Amino acid sequence: MSHITYNKEWREAQQALADLFENEKPPEAQKPEKDKVAFFQFLATMYIKYIQILRKLEACYDQIVHPQKRLVLRNVLDGVLGRLLELKQEMVDLECLEYHFFDDILSDLKLTPNDVEMPIPKYFVLEQEKNLRARQQLLGQILAKMGPSEKEEKAAEVKMSLEEAIRLVQVHERARQGRLRAKFMREIREQEEKSRQDATRGAPTLDPVDAAVRIQKLWRGVMIRRKVTRLRDDEFVWLGMNPPAQFLTAKKSTAQVHALKVQDMRRVTQSMHRQEYDQALVTIKEKLRETEGPDMKETMQDQIRQWFLECRDATGKFPDYPDGEEGSAELFKQKSVAELERELKEKEEGGGKGKGGKKGKKGGKSGGKKGKDAKGKKGGKGKKGKKDDDDDEGLKMKESKFTGDIGRAMQEYESIWKLRDESDNFQQKHDSELIKEAKRVEVEREIRQQVDELMRQELQNLKVAIDKEKVRKGKKSGKKKKGKKGKKSGKKGKKGKKEKDLTPDSTIEELFEELVMNGIIKKVPKVSMADYEGEYNYLGTTLKQANLEPMPSLADVRRTVSELACLPMGSEVVHKSAPLVKSLLLAGPSGIGKKMLVHAICTETGANLFDLSATNLAGKYPGKDGLRRLMHLIFKVGRALQPSVFLIDDCDKMFKKKIPKSDTSDPKRLKKELPKAMKNVKVDDRLLLVGCSRSPWEAEVKPFCSLYQRILLIPRPDYASRHLIWRRLLAKHNGIITGALDVSTLAKVTDGNTMGQIKLCCEEILTERRLAQMAKRPLTTQEFIPVIARREFVHSEEEEAFKKWYDRTPLGKKRAKAIAADEEEAQGGGKGKGKGKGKGGKKGKKK
């Protein structure tokens, strides 16, 4: 797309943001909402609109090449990201659920689920691409030094059982016999064909016209049948019964490839324009200092000298020079009308207090009586006051930390970029006039500091020469006293204990290498969050209205993980002010994609992966000193190379009551040290602990849930998600979907299978040999049935166990209490009103 297109999209996003910003009132100005459902609808609508704005802003920031526009866009983008996370937290606090369903709101706004897909900004990775490339290169060099790991060596040494060896020999022997049999049959057919030709050699031949007609008939029949087949396939695609042809292949079309090339070219142009802009910042500032600096200095000195003379004429003495940070700038600062009014009010209040001091003493007795009357009135209306407070109580949006940043960025856009004429700037390079305006202020500030030093000395000389003022020694002694106080305060500050650095002489690169050599830091496979396939749940709100608890779909899981992990971890600005998430627990059956989500978090944010699983730590860093060093290393390196993700697989074993003797990995090793270390994680530390669990009910609930701040329950995929997974995986493995392969049947048969099991089925069937036969022998549904039957299923009992365990978590208990309170309010609404009237009558009698 062109520059004009992205500028237009930015304008639309800013207009939508301005319309939405009208609802962003401070909590004091909001009207309280008593209906919880209506308040959630309001929050969800704002949430969806912010996602739409975020999608547009992210596309603009990724492709706009103007460096100064990108700075404004970045501020707006970070503000919208943070506000989105705040709204998400408010919805979680309101509903006591991690997953939310917006199908009714999407229907009202006439949107599709793809329109509100959570985008992950590309600048998370692109802006640290050089560091990531260098880190990957270092990791590759270290792994190359180590050689192949034990797992890879074991995989290379394939040990075959006796049954497998016999089966392999049988296959090859049967193939040999089949080839011989085919050879004999071919020879027999050739001999029969030869004898038939000899017999018909003297027979009369067909007329050429009849032969041509016969060939035409056969060829036209073939062509018509092909045309009918193609028309039938097109009709099925149009009806939605078959997927489109482009969906059946994982290869991208030429148009898509060209569009991606154009995007990469625009990113290269971005970096070039950015370098030119950085260079212009230095050159323009130097030029301003040379050309306008002397005039600025002379003007400032004349103004300050004039102020000296005016003050001496008015008071008879030279004034004291201002000592603030701004220096003499405070004297010539243009004040707004509001500031002038505030100063006048302060003066009037100060004068009023001085005059009314005696009156306050005289009116002491009368004031006491009034105070008693006031107390009496308060006592009489105490119960009514409570009623008024109850009437005012309701649901309000919390105060946002990002609306101020968004508002400032919007003002900058309105004042500079909205109506700016850029007809001469076709290449979208930096605007020198804007740089001059900004740098002129910096140059003026620097020159004013120099002028203040000179004029302060000049004023001192004038005071000595004209006013005969002597430099007092008291000032020096005062400074010494201040210095002593400062020393005392410094000693008090040293009392706070700091963590001892166990590796002061080692560099981060050396510590990084040590962790890689010990297998703690792992190489992350490239997996995007979009690879975690799943369909949207279209019946979530309907089931909630029917008092049923809907299970989230895999699309809901993908969106929630992006909100809790990717968006805060990717941006340092957002992480500082957004709701802090230190740890995340992914609980679900085996093969549901928990590790895939962890790899996606690391890929999308450019984070390092520290594997702290018990099986990975077995035999490494033994003893208390070793454990202490391990904790020190992972947090020191993690903070230095943030963002960082700490993974613990089978984390429920850490808090398990009894560990079997056969388990030699010592899973309880980090039980005490890790929670203590996670408490020291601050807002500035982009560190995330992610735990994966297949059986969380085996762990003790209280310590388990205290370590993991947010808990996500991942259910087995529903029918729509399985249908999508089958189609995607078949296309990825070059499997062609034809009429003989019914994907709907496969999705129905695999009810209870996870995406990992479905992937294994595809890999087992779609081998290279089977793909080579695809043209002659298309895929059929029957080929997959035996493979599916051998896979493990997630039974309903296991799913119920997950649900029961989740009800025992803090958020699950909170949800149960909220539902019980809502039911009590619904049932006791009429009784409560009657009781209220009776109490009101009694109060009236008392009065």
Q: What does the pLDDT read at residue 23?
A: 75
Q: What does the pLDDT read at residue 844?
A: 41
CB 523 within 8 A of CB 516: no
Q: What does the pLDDT read at residue 27?
A: 65
**Residue 250 — very low, low, confident or very high, per pLDDT cuts 50/70/90?**
low
Q: Which of 394, 418, 442 is the last residue of a domain?
A: 418
Q: What does the pLDDT read at residue 52?
A: 93
Give, rounded to a whole angstrom, the gap between the first and last alpha carbons of the chain. 76
**Residue 505 — very low, low, confident or very high, per pLDDT cuts 50/70/90?**
confident
Asked if the structure places residue 662 within a domain, the reply is yes
Q: Are residues 673 and 557 in the same domain?
A: yes
CB 561 within 8 A of CB 688: no
Q: Are residues 754 and 769 in the same domain?
A: yes
Q: Could you give the percent of the chain with pLDDT greater than 90? A: 29
Instruction: Considering only residues 834 and 305, tell me which one the structure prediction assigns the higher pLDDT.
Output: 305
**Residue 481 — very low, low, confident or very high, per pLDDT cuts 50/70/90?**
very low
DSSP letter assigned to residue 414 = I
Q: What does the pLDDT read at residue 241?
A: 75
**Residue 385 — very low, low, confident or very high, per pLDDT cuts 50/70/90?**
very low
Q: What does the pLDDT read at residue 226?
A: 92
Q: Which of 793, 817, 842 is the last residue of a domain?
A: 793
Q: What does the pLDDT read at residue 343?
A: 62
Report the domain count for the chain.
Answer: 4
Q: Are residues 757 and 813 in the same domain?
A: no
**Which residue segment(s) compose the domain that 732 sits in?**
720-793
| Residues contacting residue 701 through CB under 8 Å, at least 6 positions apart | 805, 808, 809
| β-pair type (583-587, 710-713) | parallel
Judged by DSSP in three states, 644 sits in: strand
Q: 């979680």: which residue's tokens?
A: 92
Q: What does the pLDDT read at residue 732?
A: 84
Phi, psi of 740 (to 5 degrees): -75, -20
Q: What does the pLDDT read at residue 314?
A: 83
Distance between CA atoms of residues 97 and 81, nearest Å: 21
pLDDT higher than threshold 80 for residue 717: yes
CATH of the domain at 779: 1.10.8.60
Q: What does the pLDDT read at residue 32?
A: 81
- Residue length, the chain? 847
Mean pLDDT of 478-488: 42
Asked if the structure places residue 82 within a domain, the reply is yes
Q: Are residues 660 and 558 in the same domain?
A: yes
Q: Which of 370, 388, 418 is the last residue of a domain?
A: 418
Q: Are residues 758 and 610 in the same domain?
A: no
Instruction: Considering only residues 798 and 343, tell me which one the structure prediction assigns the higher pLDDT.
Output: 798
Per residue in 321-357, pLDDT (tens digit) is 887 777 777 777 665 556 556 766 665 666 554 444 4
Asked if the structure places residue 438 within a domain, the reply is no
**Residue 547 — very low, low, confident or very high, per pLDDT cuts 50/70/90?**
confident
Asked if the structure places residue 192 within a domain, the reply is no
Q: Are residues 725 and 810 in the same domain?
A: no
Mean pLDDT of 813-838: 70
Q: Are residues 8 and 64 in the same domain?
A: yes
Write b or e for each residue in 321-341: b if 16 or more Cβ atoms lie within 10 A of its Cβ, otherwise e: beeeeebbbeeeeeeeeeeee
Prediction pTM value: 0.80
Asked if the structure places residue 55 within a domain, the reply is yes
- Most confident listed range (77-86, 194-203, 255-264, 786-795): 77-86
Q: What does the pLDDT read at residue 247?
A: 53
Q: Are residues 577 and 646 in the same domain?
A: yes
Distance between CA atoms of residues 213 and 34, nearest Å: 84
Mean pLDDT of 415-440: 88
Distance between CA atoms of residues 48 and 113, nearest Å: 10
Distance between CA atoms of residues 690 and 686, nearest Å: 13
Q: What does the pLDDT read at residue 376?
A: 40
Q: Are residues 726 and 804 in the same domain?
A: no
pLDDT higher than threshold 50 for residue 386: no
Q: Are residues 709 and 726 in the same domain?
A: no
Helix (H), strand (E) at residue 647:
strand 644-649
Q: What does the pLDDT read at residue 307?
A: 86
Per residue in 17-63, pLDDT (tens digit) is 988 888 776 666 777 888 888 899 999 999 999 999 999 999 999 99
Q: What does the pLDDT read at residue 777?
A: 85
pLDDT higher than threshold 70 for residue 377: no
Q: Are residues 651 and 609 in the same domain?
A: yes
The DSSP string of 66-122 is -HHHHHHHHHHHHHHHHHHHHHHHHHHHHH--S----HHHHHHHT--GGGG-----T
Asked if the structure places residue 408 within a domain, the reply is yes
Asked if the structure places residue 263 within a domain, the reply is no
Asked if the structure places residue 846 within a domain, the reply is no
Q: What does the pLDDT read at residue 389?
A: 44
Long-range contacts of 664-672 (CB under 8 A, 24+ apart): 664/618, 665/614, 665/615, 665/617, 665/618, 666/614, 666/617, 666/618, 667/614, 669/614, 669/617, 669/627, 670/612, 670/617, 670/627, 671/703
Mean pLDDT of the chain: 82
pLDDT higher than threshold 70 for residue 483: no
Mean pLDDT of 687-694: 92
DSSP letter assigned to residue 99 = -
| β-pair type (608-611, 521-522) | antiparallel
| Residues contacting residue 255 through CB under 8 Å, at least 6 positions apart | none
Mean pLDDT of 382-404: 65
CB 555 within 8 A of CB 680: no
Instruction: Considering only residues 358 and 268, tell me which one the structure prediction assigns the higher pLDDT.
Output: 268
Q: What does the pLDDT read at residue 623?
A: 86
Q: What does the pLDDT read at residue 368?
A: 43
Helix (H), strand (E) at residue 362:
helix 357-362
DSSP letter assigned to residue 793 = -
Mean pLDDT of 692-696: 91
Q: Are residues 700 and 736 in the same domain?
A: no
| Residues contacting residue 387 through CB under 8 Å, at least 6 positions apart | none
